[in-house]
Amino acid sequence: MNAELAPGLYIVATPIGNLGDLTPRAAEVLARADVIAVEDSRVTAKLLHHIGVKRPMTPYHDHNAEGVRPGLVARMGSEVVALVSDAGTPLISDPGYKLVRDARAAGHLVVTVPGPCAAVAALTLAGLPTDRFLFLGFLPPKAGARATAIAEVAAVRATLILYESGPRLAVTLTALAERLGDREAGVAREITKRFEECVTGTLTELAARYADAPPKGEIVVIVAPPGEVVIETSEDDIDAALVEAMTRLPASKAAGEVAKRLGLDRRELYARATALKG
């Protein structure tokens, strides 16, 4: 990157543990930024020291964002403003989306400089389905609100990803087991650091493991999607579904659509569709 950076907002992902994961592009953007919006200047100062640069920093977090945001947006018209979190990709369970929204509304350039993300890194470690996943951030700390939040996603057919602290881990795993059933799950911690680990098992097994030994470090919990549910469907319902589908599709494709939706055999449904059509 030799050309001058255009003024605007640069969303810069930083390492979640191993400083070697900072990309060359991210390092160069940080080195050229007129100001870096940070969660904690002490954390970002260590990263800047690692790459041998000093740049102006300004705090940007949940407690001051409303007051600081207009000034940062104004600066984007003529300056390079970099946004970082303490670790990982900004905006993922961190403040920032309103800054991006206001920057775009003001017509400023918004650039992403991608890199590490603990949620995605943990997903790759756990050995659970990755084709669909839902990130939940941190669950509410109070039992009632936590139970409600879990119930809201119980039927979602996707792997669930959430962040948690060591002292609350066992309680959260138990609550997940109670509301979701004893699904397969994983607990990943200290990703990219010296003591990185990913422990897998059922939610009940993991809750028991950590009940008397809360782990240290940054923790990500990954929970498998719900198992297949057998739905009892009457013959009349099947025929109605096929007839409706055939108003839009050929018999073969209609059979495939209904088979996928109801979990039935496609060949049997095709024969049924052909008979109904005849």
CATH number, residue 148: 3.30.950.10
Secondary structure letter of residue 50 according to DSSP: H
Considering the domain architecture, whether residues 124 and 219 belong to the same structural domain is answered as yes
Question: What mean pLDDT comes out for the span 193-205?
Answer: 95
Mean pLDDT over each residue of the chain, to the nearest integer: 93
* Domain final residue, candidates 66, 82, 116: 116
- Residues 101 and 18 placed together within one structural domain of the fold: yes
Q: Which of 193, 196, 152, 198 is nearest to 176 (CA)?
A: 152
Number of separate domains in the chain = 3
CATH of the domain at 14: 3.40.1010.10
Q: Each residue of 113-140: pLDDT tens digit?
A: 999 999 999 999 999 999 999 999 999 9
Residue 261, domain member (yes or no): yes
Give bridge partners of residue 255 from the DSSP assignment: none
Q: State mean pLDDT over 15-32.
A: 96
Taking residues 163-168, what's their average pLDDT? 96
Do 203 and 172 belong to one domain?
A: yes
Judgement on whether residues 81 and 165 belong to the same structural domain of the protein: no
Instruction: Specify if 76 maps to a domain.
Output: yes
Give the domain-ending residue among 72, 100, 116. Answer: 116
33 in a domain, yes or no?
A: yes
More confident residue, 213 or 3: 213
Residues 150-179: what's their mean pLDDT? 96
Q: What single-letter amino acid sits at 54? A: K
Query: What gap in Å lies between CA 49 and CA 208, rounded to an integer?
Result: 41
Residue 157 lies in a domain: yes
- Do 23 and 108 share a domain, yes or no? yes
> Would you tell me how many other CB atoms lie within 10 Å of the CB of residue 145?
11
Domain range enclosing 262: 235-277
Residue 80 lies in a domain: yes
- Residue 83 resides in a domain: yes
Tell me the Ramachandran region of residue 8: left when phi exceeds 0, alpha when psi lies from -120 to 50, beta otherwise. Answer: left
- What integer pLDDT is reported at residue 5 of this predicted model? 95
The 10s digit of each residue's pLDDT in 33-59 is 999 999 999 999 999 999 999 999 999
User: Tell me, what's the pLDDT at 232?
Assistant: 53
Mean pLDDT for 66-75 is 96
72 pLDDT band, cuts 50/70/90, is very high
pLDDT of 92 higher than 70: yes
Predicted model pTM: 0.78
Task: Give the residue-averaged pLDDT of 6-26.
Answer: 97
Do 138 and 176 lie in a common domain? yes
Q: Please tell me whether residues 16 and 92 are part of one structural domain.
A: yes
Distance CA 83, CA 90 (A): 7
Starting at the edge strand found earlier in the chain, the sheet holding 35-38 runs: 57-59, 35-38, 80-83, 8-12, 110-113
The answer as to whether 110 is a domain residue is yes
